[in-house]
């Protein structure tokens, strides 16, 4: 993106850099996904994370058992009630992840230019020259000269905590490697990644299926983060599995792109998935470092044009141990937002980091500043041109609502929706003002009991940039006219006023369905 595309008018921006950032009810339009765990399990910490701007809680089953994650989730529910802040739940699968197994949990020191053997015999103890792994097929897929990376959660790639290996020999089921840098591996779990090599394991493993069908079903998960997605078929098989699990047929699937294979099939995966997570930790190992930014920009653009959320990971790794991000990390967060990302995903920073709340707060502030100079006009023109003509009915309404809101300088767009699709389409055009998505529940019955839908749809918009949901009274039907819509609108306006988003004399754009017609109208508030 060239600098002349940004709205960085030198005289204005240079003068405003030293101004303190104004706090608002919505800290940023962009969303923050926080991974909950060891240092973010208490009700108090989770409450502070919600207040700081976390809108999606991620539960990573690469570590920890279901009981631990359940306790964390129960605390999240208490925190949601206390703070009155909505939060969605994301289950992150393990997938075909290769791991070094260290049952003793004693630190293992590896010395540069010495040899280490990777063995599938997990009964053996991890030592400086022998590392047990959880995959017996490694010797069949690697060859002399291949690169292998080992690190804790692929955390930083730091030379002191992570190690690069070069395959020198394959001996039966064992792989002999030359250690390229000295490092100390500590803890029970290290991830192992073989650069640009296909691992013949299912994307949705038996362990993943068990977790989803028990923990996932019990907790009505909103999002499934599908680790190591390599083909569109991976998403289809996961969706087929979810469809058999009651309410999880509504769960959205976010494909995690973590290697070259997923990159090669990106377009088909995007078409099949509900959203994309750019897992830059593994991608940064599978791709040459100088190519990672190109993939990020290309992938985010494709997601934007498809109207599907793009989530970027691994942005402020240093905040796992430090109170402030590096200058490069702060710039990285801003560039992700300027590229068009919907959300930033925090992993180790909030899971086991020392400053989970501060990390969320700082990332949110950087996002808010980047949004101020995001060139919405250029983005809007690109999106409209990409969609082409003739537009679908809904696409036309959504783009018209955003254009009208910007022309009249509306303070907010209010969208009435039952499926959430209309609100997501409006957000696709990246309006400069918040979109209040009023989700009107639908009544369902299986002839034995009545049930209201809408909670899923409301929570699932919490990963979309600029979309802020509220659930309407279920007594109001989805297809309605007159007084019913007016009463729901009044509730939405009251919410906007109480949160400080809407003030007297503000102009608002309302997008709603009346009968078979979709209507965009502009209203101006009185005193």
DSSP sequence for 161-221: TEEEEEEEEEETTEEEEEE-S-EEE-SSEEEEEETT----S-SS-HHHHHHIIIIIHHTT-
- In Å, how far are 339, 459, 486 from 293, measured between CA atoms? 10, 30, 47
Domains of the chain by residue range: 28-96+202-372, 102-194, 376-525
What size, in residues, is the chain? 527
Please give the structure tokens belonging to residue 187: 């803890």
- The model's confidence at residue 246, banded by pLDDT at 50, 70 and 90, is confident
Q: What is the pLDDT of residues 313-331, one digit of tens each?
A: 989 989 988 999 999 999 9
- The model's confidence at residue 64, banded by pLDDT at 50, 70 and 90, is confident
What share of the chain in percent tops pLDDT 90? 58
- In Å, how far are 181, 263, 371 from 267, measured between CA atoms? 37, 8, 27
CA neighbor of 163 nearest in space, from 105, 99, 110, 97: 110
SS (H, E, C) 221-237: CCEEEECCCCCHHHHHH
- Of 26-35, 200-209, 439-448, which gets the smallest average pLDDT? 439-448
Predicted local distance difference test score (pLDDT) of residue 478: 44
- In Å, how far are 29, 347, 348, 391, 491 from 332, measured between CA atoms? 17, 16, 17, 35, 39
Predicted local distance difference test score (pLDDT) of residue 268: 98
- Of 47-56, 253-262, 433-442, which gets the smallest average pLDDT? 433-442
Please give the structure tokens belonging to residue 33: 């996904």
Please give the structure tokens belonging to residue 18: 């030293």
- Of 19-23, 263-267, 459-463, which gets the smallest average pLDDT? 19-23
Of residues 466 and 456, which shows the higher confidence score?
466
Question: Is the predicted pLDDT of residue 15 greater than 60, yes or no?
Answer: no
Question: Is the predicted pLDDT of residue 196 greater than 90, yes or no?
Answer: no
CA-CA-CA-CA dihedral for 165, 167, 173, 174, to nearest 10: -50
Q: What is the pLDDT of residues 492-514, one digit of tens each?
A: 888 778 777 888 888 999 988 76
- In Å, how far are 232, 238, 527 from 258, measured between CA atoms? 14, 17, 53
Which CATH superfamily includes the segment(s) 28-96+202-372?
A: Phosphoenolpyruvate-binding domains (3.20.20.60)
- The model's confidence at residue 160, banded by pLDDT at 50, 70 and 90, is low
Cβ partners under 8 Å of residue 324, min gap 6: 362
CA-CA-CA-CA dihedral for 201, 212, 134, 163, to nearest 10: 90
Q: At what angle do helices 43-52 and 356-372 cross, to 10 degrees?
A: 10
Section 477-500 average pLDDT: 68
Average pLDDT of the residues of the chain: 87
Place of tokens 């068990």: 210
**CATH architecture, range 376-525:** 3-Layer(aba) Sandwich (3.40)
Cβ partners under 8 Å of residue 326, min gap 6: 318
What's the CA gap between 505 and 30, in Å, rounded?
Answer: 27
Predicted local distance difference test score (pLDDT) of residue 417: 83
- In Å, how far are 222, 443, 477, 499 from 251, measured between CA atoms? 5, 19, 23, 29
Predicted local distance difference test score (pLDDT) of residue 71: 96
Section 33-39 average pLDDT: 95
Section 227-231 average pLDDT: 95
Section 351-361 average pLDDT: 94
Of residues 78 and 162, which shows the higher confidence score?
78
- In Å, how far are 3, 74, 247, 352, 376 from 225, measured between CA atoms? 34, 20, 17, 20, 29
- Of 260-269, 341-350, 447-456, which gets the smallest average pLDDT? 447-456
Predicted local distance difference test score (pLDDT) of residue 3: 37
What's the CA gap between 132 and 51, in Å, rounded?
Answer: 43
Model-level pTM? 0.90
Please give the structure tokens belonging to residue 224: 């499934």
Cβ partners under 8 Å of residue 83, min gap 6: 47, 50, 51
User: Does the domain made of 102-194 have the CATH classification 2.40.33.10?
Assistant: yes
Peptide bond into 459 cis (omega under 30): no
- The model's confidence at residue 1, banded by pLDDT at 50, 70 and 90, is very low
Burial class (CB in 10 A: 0-12, 13-18, 19+), 130: middle
Predicted local distance difference test score (pLDDT) of residue 512: 80
Question: Is the predicted pLDDT of residue 480 greater than 50, yes or no?
Answer: no
Section 26-41 average pLDDT: 92
Q: What is the per-residue DSSP string for 207-272?
A: HHHHHIIIIIHHTT-SEEEETT--SHHHHHHHHHHHHTSGGGGG-EEEEEE-SHHHHHTHHHHHHH
Section 399-405 average pLDDT: 94
Rg (CA), the chain: 24
The per-type count for the chain, helices as H runs and strands as E runs, is: 19, 24
Predicted local distance difference test score (pLDDT) of residue 25: 60
Predicted local distance difference test score (pLDDT) of residue 475: 54
> Among positive and negative, which fits the CA dihedral 95, 97, 102, 108?
negative
Section 182-198 average pLDDT: 81
Predicted local distance difference test score (pLDDT) of residue 479: 47
Same fold, 28-96+202-372 and 376-525: no
User: Containing H/E element for 31?
Assistant: strand 31-35
């Amino acid at each position: 993106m060239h600098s002349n595309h940004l709205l960085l008018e030198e005289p204005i921006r240079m003068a405003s850099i030293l101004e303190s950032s104004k706090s608002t009810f919505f800290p940023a339009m962009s969303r923050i996904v926080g991974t909950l765990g060891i240092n973010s399990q208490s009700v108090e910490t989770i409450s502070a994370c919600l207040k700081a701007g976390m809108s999606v809680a991620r539960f990573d089953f690469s570590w920890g058992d279901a009981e631990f994650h359940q306790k964390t989730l129960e605390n999240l529910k208490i925190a949601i009630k206390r703070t009155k802040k909505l939060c969605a739940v994301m289950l992150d699968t393990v997938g075909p992840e290769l791991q070094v197994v260290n049952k003793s949990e004693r630190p293992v020191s590896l010395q540069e230019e010495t040899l280490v053997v990777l063995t599938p015999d997990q009964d053996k103890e991890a030592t400086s020259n022998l590392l047990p792994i959880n995959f017996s097929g490694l010797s069949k897929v690697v060859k002399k000269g291949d690169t292998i990376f080992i690190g804790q959660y692929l955390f930083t790639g730091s030379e002191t905590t992570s190690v690069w290996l070069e395959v020198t020999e394959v001996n039966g089921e064992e792989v002999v490697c030359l250690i390229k840098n000295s490092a100390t591996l500590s803890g029970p779990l290290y991830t192992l990644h073989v650069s640009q090599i296909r691992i013949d394991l299912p994307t949705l493993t038996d362990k993943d299926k068990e977790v989803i069908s028990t923990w996932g079903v019990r907790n009505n998960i909103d999002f499934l983060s599908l680790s190591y997605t390599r083909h569109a078929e991976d998403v289809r098989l996961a969706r087929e599995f979810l469809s058999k699990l009651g309410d999880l047929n509504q769960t959205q699937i976010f494909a995690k792109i973590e290697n070259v294979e997923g990159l090669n099939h990106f377009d088909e995966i995007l078409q099949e998935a509900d959203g994309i997570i750019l897992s830059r930790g593994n991608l940064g190992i599978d791709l040459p470092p100088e190519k990672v930014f190109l993939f990020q920009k290309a992938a985010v653009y494709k997601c934007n044009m498809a109207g599907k959320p793009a989530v970027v990971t691994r942005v402020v790794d240093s905040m796992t141990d430090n109170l402030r991000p590096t200058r490069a990390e702060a710039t990285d967060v801003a560039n992700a937002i300027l590229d068009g990302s919907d959300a930033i995903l925090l992993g180790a920073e909030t899971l086991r980091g020392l400053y989970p709340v501060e990390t969320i707060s700082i990332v949110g502030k950087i996002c808010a500043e980047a949004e101020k100079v995001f060139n919405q006009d250029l983005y809007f023109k690109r999106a409209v041109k990409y969609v082409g003509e003739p537009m679908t009915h809904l696409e036309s309404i959504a783009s018209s609502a955003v254009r009208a809101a910007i022309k009249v300088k509306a303070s907010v767009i209010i969208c009435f929706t039952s499926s959430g699709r209309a609100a997501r389409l409006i957000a696709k055009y990246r309006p400069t003002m918040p979109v209040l998505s009023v989700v009107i529940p639908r009544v369902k019955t299986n002839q034995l009991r009545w049930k209201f839908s809408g909670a899923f749809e409301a929570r699932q918009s919490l990963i979309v940039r600029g979309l802020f949901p509220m659930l309407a009274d279920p007594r109001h039907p989805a297809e309605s006219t007159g007084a019913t819509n007016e009463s729901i609108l009044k509730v939405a306006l009251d919410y906007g006023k109480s949160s400080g988003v809407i003030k007297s004399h503000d102009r608002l754009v309302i997008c709603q369905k009346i009968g078979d017609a979709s209507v965009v109208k502009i209203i101006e508030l009185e005193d």
